[in-house]
Structure 1
Amino acid sequence: MPDIWFYHLEKTPLPQVLPDLLEKVVQKGWRAYVHGHDDDKIEVLNGHLWAYSPASFLAHGREGNELAPRQPVLLGTSGDMVNMPDVYVSVAPVDFPDVSVLQRCLVVFEGGDEDHLGWARQQWKRLKGEGADLAYWKQNAQGRWEKMQ
């Protein structure tokens, strides 16, 4: 079972946080699959990843594209991780695919979304009960991540 890290967004919205998280994944030489629950949200994230910084480029693609298996970062809604990722990133309340062979899972949820927050709490309880290695990260007043005990 991989390490599973929960990121509780309170200060910064998902489109602003996701590029930083994905850049760290890619810097480690890992690949990522970003799992959303609807095409509209995935399209917003896709557009933001293309334009978030004029000084950076984060190679990525969407499911269904013929180059999807080659993408270092793949965004989708199916859970079919055809790019063979090392990291699974959940950005919506969706069922996890089989993540047993991955290095890490990131569960990123916005505190203002009660449905997503409730789902994240249920996942934490379920995974904790299964003996998973969990970490909870929360933004401090300056917007920096702090690992909570």
Structure 2
Amino acid sequence: MAEIGFYHLTRTGADQALPQLLGRTLAAGQRAMVLCGSEERVAALDTALWLCPDPDWLPHGTPASGHAGLQPIWITHLDAGADGAANGARFLFLLDGAESARLDLFDRVFDLFDGADETAVQAARRRWVAARDGGHALAYWQQTARGWEKKA
């Protein structure tokens, strides 16, 4: 079962919070798959990561650029297949309410959701219940002025 962290964004959007989390993932020697809600979001995030000042280098790829196996960060709108992420990632980041039917293929899952959007909060609560009922280990993190604080 995966360890799933729900990340309640209250101070920034995902485009600002995600680079720090991805930087920590790479520093830990891990690969990441970022599952977005649409192809357009994949393209926008691709651009945002190339322009990100901190960390200043987040090597990544998308289905448009190809070569998934070479990418430490793979950004896609397509769920993992039966063999896992196309780049072999064991860490999964969920954005825009995206859901994966293959949570069991990952060691850690980061579900980022917008705290200013009541629909997104309700959807995250539904995903929490489903993950809990699926036997996954859960944690709830809230973004504060000091950074991420674990609340549950």
- Normalising by structure 2, we get a TM-score of 0.90
Partners of 1:146 and 1:106 in 2: CA distance: 14
Partners of 1:111 and 1:74 in 2: CA distance: 25
Q: Do the aligned residues in 2 keep the contact of 1:35 with 1:89 (CA within 8 Å)? A: yes
Partners of 2:109 and 2:54 in 1: CA distance: 28
Q: Which runs of 4+ in 1 moved over 3 A?
A: none
Partners of 1:136 and 1:91 in 2: CA distance: 16
Query: In the alignment, which residue of structure 1 is the partner of 2:60?
Result: 60
Q: Do the aligned residues in 1 keep the contact of 2:19 with 2:55 (CA within 8 Å)? A: no
Q: Do the aligned residues in 2 keep the contact of 1:11 with 1:143 (CA within 8 Å)? A: no
What is the identity, as a one-letter code, of the residue corresponding to 1:113? D
Q: CA RMSD in A?
A: 1.6
Partners of 2:150 and 2:58 in 1: CA distance: 26
Structure 1 stretches lacking a partner, 5+ long: none
Partners of 2:116 and 2:39 in 1: CA distance: 21
Encode CA deviations 1:25-50: one digit per residue, 9 max, x unaligned: 11111100000111222222111100
Cα deviation for residue 55 of structure 1 reads 6.6
> Aligned pair count?
148
Partners of 2:59 and 2:70 in 1: CA distance: 10
Partners of 1:138 and 1:31 in 2: CA distance: 24
Cα deviation for residue 97 of structure 1 reads 3.3
Structure 2 stretches lacking a partner, 5+ long: none
